[in-house]
Structure formats: C-alpha cells, structure tokens
Amino acid sequence: MKLIQKNLLKGTFEYELTDEEVKIRIKTLMNEKLKSVPLEILNPEPVINGNQLDFHSRVKCGPLISLQLNKPDEKTFNTFVDAVKQKALEQYKDFAGLK
C-alpha cells in the first residue's frame, strides 16, 4: 500500500507500507532520500501536530513518520493511516510474543 504526498516547497513524499516496515522516499529538486521505519517500534496511536499527523516511537523520542493531514485526499489518507496503525500493533504483538 502506498501514499504519495506532494508539497511545492518540500518535494514529493512516498510512503510504502509493507508487512514489516514503512519505506519513505523523499524526492526534491536536488536529491532523493530513502529511509525505512520498522513497524514494531511505532506507537500505533498517532499525534496531530498542526497540519501533520505524527507517528512516534514507543519510547517517545520524536516523530518517526510525519504525514500531511488529508493529503492527497481524506479517504486515501485515512485508509493508509488505519493500515499503519493496525500493522504497527500486529508487529509489536509478534515482537513481544503477545499473540
């Protein structure tokens, strides 16, 4: 599952949800960055921060994933966020042996 968010000043952000991580590709005019965030370390309850929705780590060291609210549209955004929340909870339970 993918979510693509475009920002005129910051570039294009592509978020790809896999079974074990969220892969993030940031493309600007000058460069491209790739990073990945393992789902088991994400707190499944995001925090609204202005016009962003932030997923923090379970140890609260700051946002690991920041999404622009309701971009590209509300339905696509909410579907992606719900999937991240569900998979983050499942991965943590697997990691902790809680299933």
Q: Which CATH architecture fits 2-96?
A: Roll (2.30)
pLDDT digits (tens, 9 = 90+) for 15-58: 999 999 999 999 998 999 999 999 999 999 999 999 999 999 98
Does residue 6 carry a pLDDT above 70? Answer: yes
Contact 19, 36 (CB under 8 A): no
Does residue 99 carry a pLDDT above 70? Answer: no
Helices (H), the chain: 74-96
pTM: predicted TM-score of the whole model, two decimal places:
0.90
Confidence of residue 12 (pLDDT cuts 50, 70, 90): very high
21 vs 97: which has the higher pLDDT: 21
Does residue 96 carry a pLDDT above 80? Answer: no
Which residue has tokens 């998979």?
A: 87
Here the tokens at position 33 are 């960055």
